[in-house]
């Protein structure tokens, strides 16, 4: 493997097709294998190259991480780790415009969404940086002349495999708590979009991160990702992506008995009762499936509407969908393209299947013809959709909403829980007792009442049940997932 500093100058980013390397032990390295082209979803043009890492680069990254734990990073105090993370957050904010521009072109998302994502990265590092030295142990009353303490320790080398829908936010969500607890991390971001992760890696080095505390290897999932999950030198895996790959990740991690946190998406329902503020609910339901072109694990991809208001509510919803502005990132519209031609085809197939099956189309917002080279998909609402239809049961990961109808609270709960997923749910009603009943009966990791936060803020524990995965990210709970305890029993008699 040749050693080269491949980090491109941000100033010539527009002119050149930069080639990005792997960040291993604070050095940029290339791979011998042919690089992977990076395509702009808004135009379909290639504009950068990613290094194609595999087992040997993963091995080098794990060795670098292990060395960091035995060296400066392992010796750093919690306060020092926290300060470094906050310095990094300051650097992210100082470079936010440029980073957001890269993120927007890499993913196709509207520039204001990309800016919000970069602010979220800074917030993750502030939150977990501040928390780093506030995770304390316990003293347990035990037998006479015994002192028993429970101390929290890092897991060791943590592996992180992230998807393409929110590359920047995922970096913050998974790397910040890992570093706060003193782990050394190896990140394998998604090959479809991850330039911002490499740029953030460069800023971490600039912030003073000791070599090997964070390593980033790019490459295909089945090569670099698979090599990481079965590497004997890792102590933990965090994976966000599809349920199918999540299962492979869990199987590979089981070879070495490594704990896994899986976040595998959802089919999240919003339940709208007749007494709700229908205008507020319609606006939120539209936003929850339009955001990031529906490519959000916690997208509100189903709306369950009480029969007596189905007509009026879907009319309100249609008004919101008709007003959705579609455009390339610089136009800062409401909706951008999907990530790739593959995802575009996949989502269009869902729409065609629904039409072929005769599902009523409530509204479809057309895509302007000048955008035909990008991977755009028209925002579409179908309904009522039967509970056993593919559009209700499967994650579409695009701007397609399935509306369902219910007659009673019991039926609403049954429909809400009627898929294999359980990530997030929304409930819209002014009836306080019903709010409580619904929140308790819906099986999911988060329930929003008269609001919908698509995963919510950094402070809120997030994660799924059932096929949506297991384990929790965000909030202080993430620090528990990313650490272990040691019980020390001291007899002093």
Give the residue numbers marked as catalytic. Answer: 263, 297
What CA–CA distances, in Å, run from 381 to 39, 50, 389?
29, 37, 14
Size of interface with ligand NAD, in residues (CB under 6 A)? 25
Closest CA to 445 of 421, 428, 429, 427: 421
CA dihedral 257, 243, 165, 124 (to 10 degrees): -40
Q: Could you tell me if 481 and 261 are in contact, meaning their C-beta atoms sit under 8 angstroms apart?
A: yes
Closest to ligand NAD by CB, 87 or 263? 263
309 binds ligand NAD (CB under 6 A): no
Maximum pairwise Cα distance, the chain: 83
Q: Does 241 bind ligand NAD (CB under 6 A)?
A: yes
Nearer to ligand NAD among residue 68 and residue 217 (C-beta): 217
DSSP assignment of 5-46, as one string?
A: --PPPGGGTTTS--EE-EEETTEEE--SSPPEEEE-TTT--E
Spatial CA neighbour of 103 closest among 85, 119, 89 = 119
Q: How far is the CB of 299 from ligand NAD (least distance, A)?
A: 9
- Give yes or no for a contact between 272 and 412, defined as CB atoms under 8 angstroms apart: no
Q: How far is the CB of 63 from ligand NAD (least distance, A)?
A: 19
Contact 107, 196 (CB under 8 A): no
* CB of 372 vs ligand NAD, minimal distance in Å: 22
Q: How far is the CB of 475 from ligand NAD (least distance, A)?
A: 18
- Residue 222, interface with ligand NAD (CB under 6 A)? yes
Closest-by-Cβ residue to ligand NAD is 221
Burial of 162 (0-12, 13-18, 19+ CB in 10 A): buried
By CB under 6 A, residue 225 contacts ligand NAD = yes
Regarding 264 and contact with ligand NAD (CB under 6 A), the answer is yes
Residue (95 or 238) nearer to ligand NAD, CB: 238
Q: Residue 3 carries which DSSP code?
A: B
From candidates 35, 210, 265, 422, binder to ligand NAD by CB under 6 A: 265
Binders of ligand NAD among residues 102 to 131 (CB under 6 A) are none
**Residue 161 interacts with ligand NAD (CB under 6 A): yes or no:** yes
229 binds ligand NAD (CB under 6 A): yes
Residue that the structure tokens 């916690």 belong to: 298
CB 163 within 8 A of CB 191: no
Under rule CB under 6 A, residue 186 binds ligand NAD: no
Does 191 interact with ligand NAD (rule: CB under 6 A)?
A: yes
Beta bridge partners of 24: 27
The correct pick among 41, 82, 182, 221 for binding ligand NAD (CB under 6 A) is: 221
Distance CA 478, CA 473 (A): 5
The two three-digit tokens of residue 353, written as one number: 């299947």
Judged by CB, which is closer to ligand NAD: 306, or 395?
395
Choose between 251 and 319: whose C-beta lies nearer to ligand NAD: 251
190 lies in the site for ligand NAD, by CB under 6 A: yes
Q: Is 163 near ligand NAD (CB under 6 A)?
A: yes
Nearest-angstrom CA–CA distance, 165 and 108: 10
Residue 291 C-beta: closest distance to ligand NAD, Å: 13
Interaction between residue 64 and ligand NAD (CB under 6 A): no
Query: Do residues 224 and 57 touch, judged by C-beta distance below 8 A?
Result: yes
Give one DSSP letter per residue of 423-436, joined into a string: SEEEEE-S-HHHHH
Question: Which one of residues 23, 155, 209, 226 is an interface residue with ligand NAD (CB under 6 A)?
Answer: 226
For ligand NAD, the closer CB: 188 or 474: 188
For the residues of 295-357, what is the DSSP string, one character each?
--TT-EEEEEEEGGGHHHHHHHHHHHHHT--B--GGGT-SB---S-HHHHHHHHHHHHHHHHT
Stretch that binds ligand NAD, among 113-121, 176-184, 259-267, 317-325 (CB under 6 A): 259-267
CB 242 → ligand NAD: shortest distance, Å? 3
DSSP code for 474: S
Piece of the chain touching ligand NAD by CB under 6 A; list 94-102, 134-142, 263-271, 362-370: 263-271
State in angstroms the smallest separation of the CB of 243 from ligand NAD. 8
Is 93:272 a contact under the CB 8 Å cutoff? no
Return the structure tokens found at 39: 């395509």
How many residues does this entry show for the chain? 493
Q: Residues 57, 87, 263, 306: which binds ligand NAD (CB under 6 A)?
A: 263
Nearer to ligand NAD, 174 or 229 (CB): 229
Output the six-digit token pair for 400.
């397609």
Residue (58 or 438) nearer to ligand NAD, CB = 58
**H/E element, 235:** none
| Per-residue mark of binding to ligand NAD, 366-405 (x: CB under 6 A) | -----------------------------x-x--------
Check residue 185 for interaction with ligand NAD (CB under 6 A): no
245 is a contact residue toward ligand NAD (CB under 6 A)? yes
Q: Taking the CB of residue 37, how many other CB atoms lie within 10 A of it?
A: 13
263 burial class (0-12, 13-18, 19+ CB within 10 angstroms)?
buried
According to CB under 6 A, which one of 248, 285, 286, 304 is a site residue for ligand NAD?
Answer: 248
Angstrom distance (rounded) from CA 285 to CA 424:
13
Site membership for ligand NAD, residue 240 (CB under 6 A): yes
Residues that bind ligand NAD in the complex, under the rule CB under 6 A: 161-165, 188, 190-191, 221-222, 225-226, 229, 240-242, 245, 248-249, 263-265, 297, 395, 397
């Amino acid at each position: 493997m040749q050693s080269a500093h491949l980090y491109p100058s941000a100033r010539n980013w527009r002119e050149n097709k930069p080639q990005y390397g792997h960040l291993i032990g604070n050095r940029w390295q290339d791979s011998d294998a042919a690089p992977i082209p990076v395509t702009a979803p808004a135009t379909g043009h290639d504009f950068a190259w990613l290094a194609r890492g595999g087992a040997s680069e993963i091995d080098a990254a794990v060795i670098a991480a292990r060395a960091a734990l035995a060296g400066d990073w392992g010796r750093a105090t919690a306060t020092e780790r926290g300060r470094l993370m906050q310095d990094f957050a300051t650097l992210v904010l100082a470079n936010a415009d440029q980073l957001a521009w890269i993120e927007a072109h890499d993913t196709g998302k509207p520039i204001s969404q990309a800016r919000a994502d970069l602010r979220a990265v800074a917030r993750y590092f502030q939150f977990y940086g501040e928390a780093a030295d506030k995770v304390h142990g316990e003293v347990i009353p035990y037998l006479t002349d015994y002192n028993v303490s429970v101390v929290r320790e890092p897991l060791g080398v943590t592996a992180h495999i992230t998807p393409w829908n929110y590359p920047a936010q995922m970096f913050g969500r998974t790397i910040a708590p890992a570093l706060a607890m003193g782990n050394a991390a190896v990140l394998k971001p998604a090959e479809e979009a991850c330039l911002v992760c490499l740029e953030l890696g460069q800023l971490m080095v600039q912030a003073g991160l000791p070599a090997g505390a964070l390593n980033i290897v790019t490459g295909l999932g089945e090569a670099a990702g698979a090599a990481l999950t079965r590497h004997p030198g890792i102590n933990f895996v965090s994976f966000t992506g599809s349920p199918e790959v999540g299962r492979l990740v869990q199987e590979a991690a089981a070879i070495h008995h490594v704990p896994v946190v899986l976040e595998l998406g959802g089919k999240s329902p919003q339940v709208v009762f007749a007494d709700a503020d229908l205008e507020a609910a319609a606006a939120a339901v539209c936003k929850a499936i339009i955001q990031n072109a529906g490519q959000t694990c916690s997208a509100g991809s189903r709306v369950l509407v009480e029969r007596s208001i189905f007509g009026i509510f879907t009319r309100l919803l249609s008004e919101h969908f008709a007003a959705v502005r579609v455009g390339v990132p610089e136009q800062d519209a409401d909706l951008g393209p999907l990530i790739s031609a593959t995802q575009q085809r996949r989502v269009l197939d869902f729409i065609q299947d629904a039409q072929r099956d005769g599902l009523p189309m409530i509204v479809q917002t057309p895509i302007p013809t000048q955008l035909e080279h990008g991977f755009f998909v028209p925002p579409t609402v179908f309904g009522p959709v039967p509970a056993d239809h593919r559009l209700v049961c499967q994650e579409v990961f695009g701007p397609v909403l399935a509306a369902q109808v219910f007659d009673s609270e019991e039926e609403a709960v049954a429909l809400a829980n009627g898929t294999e997923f359980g990530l997030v749910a929304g409930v819209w009603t002014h009836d306080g007792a019903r709010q409580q009943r619904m929140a308790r009966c819906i099986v999911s990791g988060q329930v929003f009442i008269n609001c919908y936060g698509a995963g919510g803020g950094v402070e809120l524990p997030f994660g799924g049940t059932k096929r949506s995965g297991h384990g929790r990210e965000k909030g202080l709970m993430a620090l528990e997932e990313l650490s272990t305890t040691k019980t020390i029993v001291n007899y002093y008699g």
